[in-house]
Amino acid sequence: MDPTPGAGGPLRRVLVANRGEIAVRVIRACHLVGAAAVAVYSEADSGAAHVRMADDSRLIGPPPAARSYLDIDALIGAAKDAGADAVHPGYGFLSENAAFARAVAAAGLTFVGPPAAAIAAIGDKARARVLAREAGVPLVPGSGLVASADEAVAAADRVGYPVLVKAAAGGGGRGIRPAADEAALRSALPAAQREATAAFGSDAVYVERSIARARHVEVQVLADSLGSVVHCYERECSLQRRRQKLFEEAPAPGLPPTVRDRMTAAAVRLARRVGYAGAGTVEFLLDVNEFYFMEMNTRIQVEHPVTELVTGLDLVAEQLRVAAGQPLSVRQDDVELRGHAVECRINAEDPDRKFLPRPGTVTSLVLPGGPGVRIDHALAPGTVVPPFYDSLVAKLCAWGSSRPQALDRVAQALAELEIGGLTTTAPLHRRLLGVPDIRSGRYHTAWLEEFLA
């Protein structure tokens, strides 16, 4: 008799509830662990690479995400129709949606991610702050939920200006508004509430002190349902525009070992506190050598390849193991940090025109190679990059035995990369890699916007 999925036996057939390069990445991991992969696609993605790579596929709706990749009923129906026993959400779309995780379980399928209760608890940013405090994780001074301008002003008076108004159900930099004084805060509050409602279906917000020129450092964690939790060290994600990451590296340059030890230990404590299982990321603000909890992402991250390159782990395969009820393949002592890795996000955007999205058709493609080079993508000549979804088209990564070698390798790879027919952020990355602050690792979350200005 075949082993029961989710009870220690391998997953046999996984529906990949996503598209683009992350769907390709998950399909590869499924094949490596011996599982068949079922793709889903909208009418705009009928010829996409992830559809061609999968063992089976299902059309789930028209191009708008709300009628396809965000349609829970369509996804569950596709999984049942294809005979899947599990669903992997990738990142974005429904990957951190507790209702989706519950719907998958209610359909008798395995959700490749943390329990719905953990997603709900940590997805509410105000509740996440409470859990972090209970786990002994340092917090940026802030408030609980605020519903009115007067409540927000009272909170800001307690924590000190400047502040940020942040969506409690937020993520991806949305639902956040800065305020330097009371007048700005009274204007920022309704703007943040409107954006939060539009993006997350909730206008719940809270106030948090704004730390200028901080670094954004996150810790990758893995946990299984048997009580094991490990960290896979940290990533530097400070090179951002409007809180959207453009460049990541692992490990964080110049991070003192004592700070690394405290930060990774804090991430593990939080994962244990919320009953986590699977791959997740605990994000921190680093102010000199003091760090503060920001949020926890309950999914695989866009930038997970740099962690894989410096640890040798396959994080997506670990997700599949955990979802099948199996233990992690490693203990903490097995996770070693080797060398340095960097990732450049290649988006179909025009940096010279305020990063305006530039969808189109790939007319030609030259991909780089060489020692230590990795590129995650779903491109081929003739690939249509539609206007309906995120503009990320590729992640160009490089590993080196040292940070300078990793930077040199990714610079060479960028010089070789050609994506005909699209305007992308690749020229900006080529430019940035020659800037002394980037070469030395002396940058922070406001650095890029200051540089571009």
Please tell me which residue in 299, 345, 374, 403 is annotated as part of the active site. Answer: 299
Give 283's strand partners.
Answer: 218, 295
| Token reading at 117 | 């209760």
**Nearest-angstrom CA–CA distance, 414 and 436:** 18
CA–CA separation, 10 and 35 (whole Å): 8
Cβ neighbours of residue 283 closer than 8 Å, sequence gap 6 or more: 216, 217, 218, 237, 293, 294, 295, 296, 297
The Cα–Cα gap between 217 and 89 comes to 24
Half-sphere exposure at residue 168, Cβ-oriented, CA atoms within 13 angstroms: 20
Query: Is residue 358 among the annotated active site residues?
Result: no
10 Å Cβ neighbour count for 255?
19
CA 176, CA 169: separation in Å to the nearest integer? 11
Strand-strand pairing, 86-88 and 110-111: parallel
Q: Whose CA is closest to 30, among 44, 50, 49, 45?
A: 50
Environment class of 359 (CB within 10 Å of its CB; exposed 0-12, middle 13-18, buried 19+): middle
Give the residue from 341, 314, 335 showing the smallest Cα distance to 408: 341
Q: Rounded CA gap, 317 and 299, in Å?
A: 13
**C-alpha Rg value of the chain to the nearest Å:** 21
Report, as residue numbers or ranges, the catalytic residues: 299
